[in-house]
Structure formats: C-alpha cells, structure tokens
Structure 1
C-alpha cells in the first residue's frame, strides 16, 4: 500500500515537472520573439558591389534612377556602383587596369574593345547566354570581328550611334547661310563667314573638343573620311596597309578653319562638356558629335532655347562611302578579372533588359538596336524634332581594323591635331604616319600579335558585304 502511494506521488511530480518545463519553454520562445520584435537584429550579409563605368553623361538622370531602382529591388544582394567618366575615359580605363582597379562592367568606346580583347581583359559571355536571351537581339546580331572573336561572344548590341553635324539654325540664318555644308570646303567657308559676321558678339563658326585629340577627331575627321569613300582609321582594307594620304583635303579644311579665326577661341584645351555649354549659350555655329548623346544633353544636361538641328556629315567631294555605325554590335563589356562574374552578368542582364532599353529609346536618349525592346516602346519625340538623328541608307556597319598596332611616337590623332594647329607640316606628317604605322603593323604581324586583314573587293559604300558568307 505504501509503495503504491509513493508511485502515485512520483507520477504526480513528474507530470507537474513536465507541465512547468513546457511553460518555461513557451515563455523562453515568447521572450525571444518579443526581443526580436523590440529590435534585436542580426548583421545582414554585405552586398556584392559591382562597379560599372560609362562615358555617357547625357543619360545620367535616367540611368541613375534605373540603377537606384535595381539596387533597391534586386533579390541577389547586388549593389551597382555606377560611375561616369566623360572626359579621358579611355585613359582612365587604362590606368584602372594598370593598377588593378578596373571596373567589373564597362562601356565600349573608341579603341577600347580593340585594345582590351587581345590583352585578355574581356570575359566571353557564351556560358551566360541562353537561346531565349540571344533571340531578343534578332538576326545578324553576332558577327565575327564586331562582337565575336574565334567563335566567342564578348559583347551584345544595345545602342547604335554615328556622328552628325550639330548646327545652330539661328546663327546660320543670321550669317546668311541657307543650308548646312555638304563638303569640307563649304564647312570651312561657312565657319569663317559666321566668325566674320558675328565674332564681335562672341559667336564663332566651328568648334571641336581638342583637349582630347582622339575624342575630337575620331568622331569627326575619321567619319568624314569613311563617308567620302576612304579608309577607316588609316587602314585600307583593299591593300591590307595603312595609308593616311587621303586625309589631306579634310585636314586642309580644318587647318583653314583654325588658322583664319573661323573657330571658337581656345579649342585646343576644350573638353566636350564646356563646348556644349557654349553651344547651348548660342556662341558656336556648328560642331560634330554623336546622334545618341546630343538630344539628351540639350534637354537635360545643358537645357537650351537655341534652335538647333542635325545634318549629315560633309564630305570631300560627295558621298562615295558610308558612315560607320558605332557601337552597332557592342555596348557593355565584362572584365575577365572580375571577382564576381555571376553577379557581374546579372548586372549585364539588367543593363540589356527590355525595360531599361525601352525607356531609354522612348526618352530619346539613343537609337536602341534591340528588336524586343523597340517593339514594346513608343516612338521617341527626338525623332520628330531632329529627323536626321535616325540611321539612313548611308549609315552602315564596318569591319574592324587589325588589332594591336602600336606605332612608336605620336598616334594619328595627335599628329592630325598638330597639323590642324600648324605645329606639323601636312605632307610630312602624313608620310611619317604611313611609315610608322606600317612598320608597327608589320612587326605585330611577324610577332603573331596582329593579323593582316585584306578584302580585295572592299566597297566603303557597302562595307557590310564582307560579313556575308
């Protein structure tokens, strides 16, 4: 009887202990939840920062807003660090690569792809590209020598651009000029006429951003040469050699402008944005720049009330060639040395998305070349205001020139600038370029650092025929 009573008491104590333990556990859980509710937090994982560089400032307002939205909404814990380098972009990129500080993703520009690809600095994108993603870009979007090399894709089309003559219609009218110049000789004549009639008001005929000769002349003299039926960046595809002789009449016209008070004072040290501020203020008659940038510049960056327009580039003696469409197959590039390639690609996907590119097109920030984005977008107002902004029958995709040609001494643009400003004799300067560039090219070919590209039947009016198999 006593043992039975003890067992009953023991079971009663066990039940009481279990009940109290459960209560304590529930209280502990409740306290933990309460603690979290009252602000007890744990450190979140640091965001993966992907550095993106661009040289475009005209689209800064739109792109910054889109990047901020991505940074807030993406679920991959990525933060884009978006940086703009309008002036000296190529040199800044060179320095960044030399010091191990290159961006993860960066915009292509004159000479960037051609320099970085043979150096092994660009990541191939093939492993990231799904059939559905590639289909968005349409037929003929991937071309050897444009955005492909030895079967690998290194970039994708996005925004196409080409230079036009940007001119102030009111200034032309005041100077008695009825239409924009069709030849470089007419351009020199009109520049001098504007300066002669209006320089007392601080208005001059022509300007170009010569602080950086490469940026100034790669968007002007080079394209005038191609449109006139000549070579690209000095390279003759028919012979497989460099020949700068054909630039002579173009440089003569420029030399005439800058030696006769036809140009805005101080062009030697003028960057593109200070030039634009003077144009917006009605102090410059004309200059040459890109179709993708100038509308946004004068609507957002430097708003102007001046009546301005775009016109096709002048030529030597009529259109015998074509304007090269710049960035036709390339826009964004990925650093092969990025520490976060998968995250960098997710940023590339965002930059090439229909939502971003569609908005870009609708706002008139550039001519988007991705069919899936354009199909969903409204026609931009810029096309109605400035019809010449659209690509025409003379705007074509050109093949690339040989890579890795680095002559000793000054490059073609530095020599061109010296010729224009009278520091170097025209004929001697061009002959020197021919000698040094071909010597450097022959050496690069012999050392297997470059390849001689020859198209015996090359036609500058139809350069795309070289891509047809």
Structure 2
C-alpha cells in the first residue's frame, strides 16, 4: 500500500495569509526602580495581586469523543493549571446515545457551557440553546480563525456558531498477521477482493478468528461508518441524498447489503453482528480476532490505547464502488464543533477555553497523538516540533487530495420510523427482510420527512424570533458535481413547495 505523508493534510487546508501586529512594552517606572525600598516593592506587589486576581470560575465541556480523551484530559488539566483567569474546566463525556443526554441536560437547565456539537442545529438555534461566539472571542483570534468558522445567518446577520478545525477519514483496518497467515500478499482495492480476503482469513482461522467484522446492533453500531463512505463513492452525500435529483434514494445500497448478508451466511464475519456495537467490534479487532473492519481515523488511538491492541495492524484505502468506478469523491467526516450554550453564565471564560482548544498547542497535540486530523495550518506547523505519533498507522489515515469536505451540508428530516442507519442494520442482519421494498420505503420516508421538516420549520420561522436563514428551506446545489467539494456560492435554498415541485 502506498504510504502518504501526513503533509497530505495540507491538501484540504485553505491557504490563509495572516498579518500579525507587533507591539512593545514600555517601562512604566521610567527605569527608576533602583531606589525603590523593599517595603514599597512588597506593598506594590500586594496591591497588583489583589487587583489582578480573578474570581474562580468553573465551566463544563461536553463531548462524546472517547477516542480523543487521551489528549483532552491532560490538555484540559494543563489549561486548568496555566490559565491566568482562574478558570477550571470540567469534561463531561457521554458516549452512545449522547444526543439524549445532552438534550436532557439542556431542557433541565443544566446545559454544559461548551458543547462539542448538537444533534439538530435548527432545533438548537430555534430554541435559543446556542449563541454566536463573536462577542466573546478576542479580536486577534477572530481574525485568525475566521477561514475555519461555521457561520449561520440568524436575524439577517451572519455569525460564528462553531469551528471546522478537523476531519476524520474512512479506511479499512486490517490485521497484518492474519493476512500473512492466510497467504495474502496484496491489499484489496475492491469489495470483491475484500470478500475473497475475508474468506481466506476465516478459513485459515478455523474458528479462532474471522475475516470481516460487522457491527449492526441497532444502537451504537458502526453501520454509519460503512454506509457513509459507500454512499460517497456512489455519488451521494449524507448516506443517501442525491443533489443532482434533489431527493433521497437509498436503492444504491442493495448490492452491498446482499454482499454483507452473504458474508454472514457463509460465516466469514465475526459471529453476532446483530448484537455487536462499534466498541465491541473494535475490541475484538484489537484482540486479533478479526481480519478486516471498517474504520474511521479516530480509531487509531482508540484501538491502540482504549482497546490495547495486541495485534500488528494497519489500514488500507476504502474499496471502490461496487461497479468498479467511483461516481463521487470520498467525504471527509468534518463537522462544525465547539458551540456556546446560551445559558452559560461564564461565556467569556468559555471563549478563553475554546481559544485554547483551537490553539497551536492543543490542536498539534491532537495531531501528534493521533486522535484527530487537525487541518488548522498553525497546528500542522506546531506539530513539526512535537514527537511523531507513537502509532505507525496514523500516517496511513491521512486525507488524500481527492477527499471533499461536507460540513456545509444541512438537510433536516422529520423521520417517521427507523433511521437510515437502523434500517440498514436490520437489512444486513435479518435475511428475511425484503431489500427492494425496504429501501424504497426508506427513500419515501426520508423524502417525506425532508418535506415535512421544512414545512414544520417554515411555520416555526414565521413566529420565531430567531429568523434562521435556512429554516423552513431545503438545500439545493447548482451545478452539483459529486467528485468535487461544494462551493458556497452554489448553495441555494428552496421552499418546501419549490422542492416538492421538482419531484414531479
């Protein structure tokens, strides 16, 4: 497999020219300190300490990124010990159904001050759960971070609600020892080759280990990390939305579901896919029981540290589309992160902490410790002076130049019934479910849900004080090319009825 240097990340970074102001510090005492008495000096120091000492402030940071805790915890402790504003940050980690935990905290008046993100941006904006950072960030930092901000139009004004600082890449993790034991010398590049490799590994394992790992438990499964990259290579965004047709269409998944069913039926997947969540899958892989699993770059630290890998492993590129020709580009799982709770009583302190999280020190630590692919240029530069990652797999997760960012996509759906991930999980695990009718129903439910959500939001927009620019609208992309990143100037918003008219 061709190894790409970590500098390939630069391909997804916007070039920025930053002007740095210079200043000087004048000697307020005019250099006349030699004759100052010891008692006068002590009195001055005491007065200054009393004047500058800040009242202790405690804020909470909510996150679900368990794979990044090896960096988050020590770096937050560093902030707590070194910041000059007497700020203490408490980290609140919730995994699994984190959306429920976060919403419960917000509705009960116990919202954390800084949120790694929210499940539904429209809901959060409409209810006033989050507010812009603009009034709390320092001017120098705002100028520096501006190209990497996520802005939303609310009340006619565009403001910063989050930051797009990193990306996660999709790969296939594989056990090198099991490949060798099965006599496999070439890494697979297609799904047919993945299937053949998995079959050989399973046969060599004779019940001690298996070729492929599927996690299709209804909650916490790895299905999204399978369907998203498959959908990207099939020309779709967000699993099943076709911007060329302006509609959801999940039927592209049929041959993949059939393949996964065959793998399960033939016993070449690790047993119990229907009960395995993503953590269980990674744990079995780390223990050397599985030859290949779908993987996201945050798995690098998790497999090595959280699950204490005992096998020799690496990753290879995601297999090409089933037809042999990719219709779209691989998406980066980039997200708009770090949001400010409007109920926070310490917003200035929250802003100081988020500036720290986006700083050279914090971001380069994420990069060098192999937990997150930071795309901030100052993080890339600072990482050069830090020790290389202890994980040899990290460089293999690097983004390639043909990957595209998708953080600009916003499609709200009022879904009735099972979600796309849950439906796919059932289809993979339950061989009696009819694939054609289920995928057709899923497409119908998502298109109906997209329209219904837009109409609901349209009514909310009429009475809402928030006046969100995209609320009650459905995103459309002019001159959409699934092989290229979406340009902001090509994003248009249709009313629900305008969108519906396109479906006829």
How would you bin the TM-score normalised by the shorter chain? Answer: 0.7 to 0.9
Q: 2:418 aligns with which of 401, 410, 423?
A: 410
Report the TM-score, using the length of structure 1 for normalisation.
Answer: 0.80
- Report the equivalent of 1:307: 312
Query: Are the structure 2 counterparts of residues 257 and 436 from structure 1 closer, same or farther at C-alpha, using a change threshold of 3 Å?
Result: same
Q: 1:389 aligns with which of 394, 397, 403?
A: 397
Deviations 1:382-438 (A, max 9, x none): 686544211102211126444431121111111111111125311111111121111
Determine if the alignment matches structure 1 residue 99 to structure 2 residue 125: no
* Residue 253 of structure 1, CA deviation: 2.0
- Report the equivalent of 2:454: 445
Determine if the alignment matches structure 1 residue 281 to structure 2 residue 296: no
Determine if the alignment matches structure 1 residue 73 to structure 2 residue 82: yes
- 1:58 aligns to what SS in structure 2? helix
Q: 1:454 aligns with which of 476, 481, 485?
A: 476
Query: Are the structure 2 counterparts of residues 112 and 198 from structure 1 closer, same or farther at C-alpha, using a change threshold of 3 Å?
Result: farther
Q: Distance in 1 between matches of 2:354 and 2:241?
A: 33
Deviations 1:323-345 (A, max 9, x none): 221225x2222222223222222
Report the TM-score, using the length of structure 2 for normalisation.
Answer: 0.75
- 1:464 aligns to what SS in structure 2? coil
* Residue 309 of structure 1, CA deviation: 0.9
- 2:130 aligns to what SS in structure 1? coil
Contact 1:88 1:212 in 2 (8 A): no
Q: Distance in 1 between matches of 2:117 and 2:186?
A: 34
Q: 2:334 aligns with which of 323, 327, 331?
A: 327
Q: Structure 1 stretch 413-422 or stretch 237-246: which is displaced more?
A: 237-246
Q: Distance in 2 between matches of 1:122 and 1:430?
A: 35
Query: Are the structure 2 counterparts of residues 254 and 131 from structure 1 closer, same or farther at C-alpha, using a change threshold of 3 Å?
Result: farther
Determine if the alignment matches structure 1 residue 295 to structure 2 residue 303: no
* Residue 223 of structure 1, CA deviation: 1.3
Report 1:8-407 matches (<5 A).
Answer: 47-108=56-117, 111=119, 113=121, 116-137=124-145, 140-142=147-149, 151-201=158-208, 203-213=209-219, 215-291=221-297, 293-314=298-319, 315-316=321-322, 317-327=324-334, 330-378=336-384, 380-381=388-389, 385-398=393-406, 400-407=408-415
Query: Are the structure 2 counterparts of residues 70 and 216 from structure 1 closer, same or farther at C-alpha, using a change threshold of 3 Å?
Result: same
Contact 1:325 1:396 in 2 (8 A): yes
Q: Structure 1 stretch 210-219 or stretch 401-410: which is displaced more?
A: 210-219
* Residue 168 of structure 1, CA deviation: 0.8
* Residue 349 of structure 1, CA deviation: 1.7
- 1:452 aligns to what SS in structure 2? strand
Q: Distance in 2 between matches of 1:298 and 1:108?
A: 24
- 2:207 aligns to what SS in structure 1? helix
* 5+ residue gaps, structure 1: 1-43
Contact 1:50 1:81 in 2 (8 A): yes
Question: Aligned-pair RMSD on alpha carbons?
Answer: 2.9
Contact 1:185 1:253 in 2 (8 A): no
Query: Are the structure 2 counterparts of residues 305 and 359 from structure 1 closer, same or farther at C-alpha, using a change threshold of 3 Å?
Result: same
**Which one has the largest radius of gyration?**
1
Deviations 1:321-380 (A, max 9, x none): 11221225x222222222322222222122222221122222232221111222222273
Q: Distance in 2 between matches of 1:467 and 1:143?
A: 15
Contact 2:131 2:161 in 1 (8 A): yes
- 1:263 aligns to what SS in structure 2? coil
- 2:283 aligns to what SS in structure 1? helix
Q: Structure 1 stretch 203-212 or stretch 112-121: which is displaced more?
A: 112-121
* 5+ residue gaps, structure 2: 1-52, 459-470, 492-504
Deviations 1:289-343 (A, max 9, x none): 221x222224432333422111111132233311221225x22222222232222
Q: Distance in 2 between matches of 1:200 and 1:91?
A: 39
Q: Distance in 1 between matches of 2:229 and 2:128?
A: 29
Query: Are the structure 2 counterparts of residues 173 and 137 from structure 1 closer, same or farther at C-alpha, using a change threshold of 3 Å?
Result: farther
Query: Are the structure 2 counterparts of residues 383 and 375 from structure 1 closer, same or farther at C-alpha, using a change threshold of 3 Å?
Result: farther
Q: Distance in 2 between matches of 1:117 and 1:174?
A: 54
- Report the equivalent of 1:464: 486
- Report the equivalent of 1:5: none
Contact 2:150 2:162 in 1 (8 A): no
Query: Are the structure 2 counterparts of residues 464 and 215 from structure 1 closer, same or farther at C-alpha, using a change threshold of 3 Å?
Result: farther
Q: Distance in 2 between matches of 1:173 and 1:150?
A: 59
Q: Distance in 2 between matches of 1:326 and 1:62?
A: 20
Q: Distance in 2 between matches of 1:402 and 1:68?
A: 35
Determine if the alignment matches structure 1 residue 433 to structure 2 residue 442: yes
